[in-house]
Amino acid sequence: MRWVIQAIGLTSNPRKELPPAVDDVSFEAHAGRVTALLGAPGAGKTTVLRLMLELQQGRGITHFRGRPLHRIPHPAREVGVLLGEVPGHPARTVRGQLRMLCAAVGVPVRRADEVLEVVDLVSLRDERLDTLSRGMDRRLGLACALLADPHTLVLDAPADGLSIRESRWLHGVLRAYAAGGGTVLFTTDDPKEAARTADRVVTIEEGKFVADQEVADFARTRLRPRVAVRSPHAARLAALLAKEARTTRRSVEVVREDGNRLSVYGSTCADVGETAYRHGILVHQLADEVGDMGPPTEQRPATDPQEAEASERLAEPENVDALPSLPPPITVRQGRNPLRPLCYELRRAAGVGTGYLTAAAVVAISAVTSVLLARVGHTPQPRLLAAWPQQFPLPPAALGAGLLGAVAFGDEFRHPALAADRGTVPRRLGLLAAKLLVAAITALILAILTVGVDAELLYIVYGREVVGVPADWLSLSASWIGLVVGCAWAGVLAAGVFRSTTAGLAAVLTVPIVVVPLVHKVLEGPSVRTATGFSTRLREFVPVQWPFGGERYLAAGARMIAQPVGGALMLSLTVLLCTYLLTTLRSRTR
């Protein structure tokens, strides 16, 4: 297959009263070659890439080796993408970011060190993302694009803000990648950079296709040397230069610029100066220049056949009957699951200090609160060990677990590591299950740690009588762990549904403040039925003897759910989970 990228009829949606930012752009990028998408700032280069990658709604279709991106099982292994800044938590290290993405794209973790060597970032692998310079950030973005060893690189202004030395290094990497059989497509607004780096240059102006040229033709027609002339008699001088060119049969082109400025192509300063001197024309400026974009397209003849064909097509009057059918619509699609969701989530949670600092703060606040409650007195022992005052809606451990759960999804939406190549963070059950499992483990550790530290501190300060083991320690432990884990899950689900850490924590606080009073009000009336004898009826229902007294655990769990807090928490988790599933189904049916 000769081409790897084939973009057909890319058109963005209209913007109110303005024309679309991109209108019917089509081009191809070939394997083993570097293709530059050239245009002035605001010409629509980034919009073209976003339409190609299905990150923006519009019309058209782009094939990568014969398939649109949404039909490729693992897009990151087919297309490496760099759009804008590198998405990631600013406190994460360079190596930690790449190791986390290794789990997301399903490659061995050693690949992170390999790409660090390729982009020459080994010495900065332990640096935080927020300390990187512009050049180092571009190198990290290239490393992320190369991580899955894709067949194609799509890079948006990769040399933007780089020094001359860094730009040369980047161009060398892109040339080496293409020489190995890869396909490179990058955008730039510098014609000289396109001529130095690319094998083929696709030019767009104001969102429309202008030319698709080999670099030699581009350099000849768009980067021609010229003589810049300023004279108060510019019109007369232009006519004389054109007349002399016809007389001597030389290929000289004179273009009238704004004001009294001329651009003379195919001549020299000496020839232009002699003509002006012979005819007594005053000249204010006479200098050799290299035109960045050449004369405007409407003032110069099109020398490239494809460019001439494009110009003729744009100049033709509209004929409704002759218009072809519209290209297919482009639908924004969410990214896929991490290929290794549990590994990804563990590296995400352990890669920044947010979790550690939160856990330390929760343990410290809980310990101080338990000591103060013991000093004041009148606090039951279970609440004393949990550092849960009667006036507080939740203990510190439950609030901390809810915050950590909310951060699990909230970080993704603020610093979307999973959206490096596909836009939005996916709502997928595999990712949700991994986050719930990691949140449950974290909450369990936090619950045990806070009770242990509180008990030890109370023993040191007040003695053994304060920290005695209660008779119903089993049901109390189950209730305690269920409360903390339930708050963590509520934070995860709410942050996933509302895409906000604040919303996740608000959902955790809503349970005791709003939902518990409602449940309590429903249950406070006279009861016609009771659950007395629940464990006995369980034995009658299952004739086989429960191992290790399993009916007691079930009865304890039933009593916990029957309590207002437990029932409210279960109700909230059920609602949040159903909402999450509905949003997941909606995203899949778009």
| The pair of three-digit structure tokens given for residue 72, joined into one six-digit string | 């490729």
Contact between 135 and 163 (Cβ < 8 Å):
yes
Question: pLDDT category, 573, cuts 50, 70, 90?
Answer: confident
At residue 441, the pLDDT reads 96
At residue 529, the pLDDT reads 56
Average pLDDT, the chain: 83
Hunting for tokens 């009770």 — which residue is that?
451
Question: pLDDT category, 515, cuts 50, 70, 90?
Answer: confident
The alpha carbon of 500 is separated from its chain's Cα centroid by a whole number of angstroms, namely 16
| pLDDT (average), residues 95-100 | 94
Q: Which of 86, 85, 91 minimizes the C-alpha distance to 351?
A: 91
Higher pLDDT, 182 or 422: 182
Question: pLDDT category, 320, cuts 50, 70, 90?
Answer: very low
Q: Which of 188-202, 316-330, 559-573 bottoms out in mean pLDDT, i.e. has the lowest? A: 316-330
CATH class of 3-213: alpha beta
**Total residue length of the chain:** 590
What is the Cα gyration radius of the chain?
Answer: 34
Alpha-carbon gap, residue 187 to 202, rounded angstroms: 9
| The pair of three-digit structure tokens given for residue 154, joined into one six-digit string | 């799509």
User: pLDDT tens-digit profile of 330-376?
Assistant: 887 766 678 899 999 999 999 999 899 999 999 999 999 999 998 88
| Architecture of domain 225-290 in this structure | 2-Layer Sandwich (3.30)
What DSSP string describes 303-317? -SHHHHHHHHHHHSP
Alpha-carbon gap, residue 5 to 20, rounded angstroms: 23
Question: pLDDT category, 544, cuts 50, 70, 90?
Answer: low
Contact between 561 and 567 (Cβ < 8 Å):
yes
At residue 214, the pLDDT reads 93
Question: pLDDT category, 539, cuts 50, 70, 90?
Answer: low
CA distances in angstroms from 73 to 4, 78, 153, listed in the order given: 17, 9, 17
User: pLDDT tens-digit profile of 13-67?
Assistant: 987 778 889 999 999 999 999 999 999 999 999 999 999 998 889 999 999 999 9
**Region(s) of the chain under CATH 3.40.50.300:** 3-213
Alpha-carbon gap, residue 265 to 332, rounded angstroms: 46
Question: pLDDT category, 429, cuts 50, 70, 90?
Answer: confident
**Region(s) of the chain under CATH 3.30.70:** 225-290
At residue 300, the pLDDT reads 38
Alpha-carbon gap, residue 410 to 403, rounded angstroms: 10
Q: Which helix (H) or strand (E) holds 261?
A: strand 261-265
| pLDDT (average), residues 215-241 | 86
Could you tell me what percent of the chain has a pLDDT over 70? 82
Q: Which of 195-199, 216-220, 491-495 bottoms out in mean pLDDT, i.e. has the lowest? A: 216-220
Say which amino acid occupies 195: A
| Residue 113 CB partners (closer than 8 Å, separation 6+) | 95, 122, 125
| pLDDT (average), residues 285-313 | 50
What DSSP string describes 462-507? H-GGGSPPPTTHHHHHHHHHHHHHHHHHHHHHHHHHHT-HHHHHHH
Q: Is the pLDDT of residue 319 over 50?
A: no
At residue 392, the pLDDT reads 86
Question: Which burial class, exposed, middle or buried, applies to 250 when counting CB atoms under 10 A from its CB (0-12, 13-18, 19+)?
Answer: exposed
Q: Which of 218-222, 488-492, 501-505, 551-555 bottoms out in mean pLDDT, i.e. has the lowest? A: 551-555
Q: Is the pLDDT of residue 186 over 80?
A: yes
Contact between 174 and 197 (Cβ < 8 Å):
yes
First CA to last CA distance, the chain = 32
Q: Is the pLDDT of residue 324 over 60?
A: no
Alpha-carbon gap, residue 6 to 27, rounded angstroms: 6
Q: Is the pLDDT of residue 208 over 70?
A: yes
Q: Is the pLDDT of residue 269 over 80?
A: yes
Hunting for tokens 């897009």 — which residue is that?
75
| pLDDT (average), residues 518-539 | 57
CA distances in angstroms from 228 to 159, 254, 257, 279, listed in the order given: 29, 10, 10, 18
Question: pLDDT category, 311, cuts 50, 70, 90?
Answer: very low
Q: Which of 404, 386, 382 minimizes the C-alpha distance to 395?
A: 386
CA distances in angstroms from 534 to 100, 226, 473, 530, 579, listed in the order given: 48, 96, 19, 9, 32
* Model pTM above 0.85: no
